[in-house]
Amino acid sequence: MIRYGIVGCGHIAKKHVAAIEAVEGAELVAVCDTNEERLREFAKDGIEGYTDLADMLKTNVDVVCICTPSGLHPKLTIQAAEAKKHVIVEKPMALTLEDADRMIEACERNGVKMAVVHPNRFRPAVAELRRQLDRGAFGKIGHANATVRWNRNQAYYDQAPWRGTKEMDGGVLMNQAIHNMDLLLWMMGDVEEVASYHATRIRNIEAEDTSVSVIKFKSGALGVLEAAVTIYPKNLEESLSIFGEKGTAIIGGPTANWIKHWKFEDISDEEAETTIKRIDEDPFGVPGHQCIIQDMTDAIREDRTPVVSGEEGRKALSLVIACQQSAETGKPVRMDDLQRKK
C-alpha cells in the first residue's frame, strides 16, 4: 500500500480523500491542520490527526498532499521533501518562480517525486483533443483560444482572509485560469512571448478579477486567453479551442467537458458525431484528482516521473508570471527570460 497524508483540511481536501479511497493500493493514514475543528472532520475511521506537520512527517506516510492556501505550498512542500516524502501539491504549485524552483530542487535533492494537481488533462474530451493533435489531424495550427468566464462573487472572497490577496491567492489567472493555461501549453507547446492586460473591475480584492492575454507560441501559432470571475450571475463558460488548416475543435460548456465543434478533413461527419456522443455519455470520466493519485501511486511503484511533474507545473506558473509581468509593465514578456536556471 502507498500511504497518503493530507495537509490542509479545507474544501479541496475532500477531493483528495475521495480520490485516495477510490485508488486501489492507496490508503489515507493521516491528516494535518492547525484548526482542530476542521481536523476532527477528517481524523476518523483510523485516520490519525495532527496539528503539526513535523509530527505527521515522523510517521510512515509515503506521500503528502498539500491542500493549503497557495502561499503556503512552498514551505510545506520543502518540509515534506526534506523528510523524504513524495509530494502532491495543489495548483498553483507556488506564487513565484523562485519558490517553485526551490520546491523542485528540494524534491530532486531528496530523491522524492512531485506532482502538481492539474486534473483537467484527464477529462475525456481533453484527452480526445490531445489524441487528435498527436496524430497531426489539425495540420498546421493557426491559433488557439482558452476562455474562463466564471463567477466568484464577493461572498466567495470574504469567506477567508487569504482569498483574493496577491500573497496567498494570486488572482484569476493564478487561482482559476492556471488550469486552462496548463492545457494550452500541453496542447500547443512552449510559448515565445506574451502580452497581457489585467484589471480589478468588480470584486473588492487586491489581485485582478479580469485578464486578457495574447500569446505567441514558439511554433509560430498564436493564442488568446480570456479569464474573469466577474460573470453575472453564475459560471457561464469554460472553453478550449484549436484552429488548424485541416481541423477545428472546440471543447466547452460551463466547464470544458463537452465537445461543441469537431471537424477534421480526414474524419467523416458520422465518425465525428460518434465521438461527440461518446463524450456526452460520460463527459466527466474518472475524477481528475483520482487520476492524479493513481498516477503518483503508479509512479512510485514503477519508479518514474509523475505525468504532471513539478517541471510541468512550473510551465503553467511561468505563463501566469509572464502575464502578470506584462500587465504590470505594459510590455510583452519573453518566456526564455523565465527559464529555470539549473
* Cα–Cα distance measured from residue 111 to residue 105, given in angstroms and rounded to the nearest whole number: 10
Judge whether 77 lies within some domain: yes
Model confidence pLDDT, tens digit, residues 258-271? 999 999 999 999 99
Q: Residues 241, 112: contact at Cβ < 8 Å?
A: no
Model confidence pLDDT, tens digit, residues 25-60? 999 999 999 999 999 999 999 999 999 999 999 999
* Cα–Cα distance measured from residue 39 to residue 272, given in angstroms and rounded to the nearest whole number: 48
Cell of 338: 523565465
**Domain count of the fold of the chain:** 2
Whether residues 189 and 274 fall in one domain: yes
The full DSSP string for 195-213 is EEEEE--SS-SSS-SEEEE
Whether residues 195 and 222 fall in one domain: yes
* Cα–Cα distance measured from residue 72 to residue 23, given in angstroms and rounded to the nearest whole number: 27
* CA–CA distances in Å: residue 47 to residues 22, 30, 53: 16, 5, 15
- The arithmetic mean of pLDDT across residues 305-327, rounded, is 97
Whether residues 21 and 43 fall in one domain: yes
Judge whether 136 lies within some domain: yes
Q: How many CA atoms lie within 13 A of 116 on its CB side?
A: 26
What mean pLDDT value characterizes the chain? 97
Judge whether 256 lies within some domain: yes
DSSP bridge pairs for 87? 64, 114
Judge whether 48 lies within some domain: yes
Nearest Cα to Cα of residue 255 among 117, 150, 178, 127: 150
> Percent of the chain beyond pLDDT 70?
100
Three-state DSSP at 272 gives helix
Three-state DSSP at 321 gives helix
- The pLDDT, as a whole number, for residue 331 is 97
- The number of residues making up the chain comes to 342
- The arithmetic mean of pLDDT across residues 8-17, rounded, is 97
Judge whether 339 lies within some domain: no
CA angle in degrees (0–180, nearest 5) for 323-72-20: 100
CA 132 distance to own-chain centroid: 22
Residue 139's domain comprises 120-285+319-326
Q: What's the predicted TM-score (pTM) here?
A: 0.95
> Percent of the chain beyond pLDDT 90?
97
Nearest Cα to Cα of residue 75 among 95, 48, 49: 95
Q: Residues 138, 245: contact at Cβ < 8 Å?
A: yes
* Cα–Cα distance measured from residue 147 to residue 229, given in angstroms and rounded to the nearest whole number: 11
Whether residues 209 and 128 fall in one domain: yes
Whether residues 52 and 132 fall in one domain: no
Instruction: Indicate which CATH number applies to the domain containing 51.
Output: 3.40.50.720
Confidence of residue 22 (pLDDT cuts 50, 70, 90): very high
- The pLDDT, as a whole number, for residue 301 is 98
- The pLDDT, as a whole number, for residue 342 is 66
Q: What is the CA radius of gyration of the chain?
A: 20
Whether residues 281 and 294 fall in one domain: no
Confidence of residue 341 (pLDDT cuts 50, 70, 90): confident
- The pLDDT, as a whole number, for residue 340 is 82
Model confidence pLDDT, tens digit, residues 200-253? 999 999 999 999 999 999 999 999 999 999 999 999 999 999 999 999 999 999
Nearest Cα to Cα of residue 119 among 306, 311, 323, 339: 306
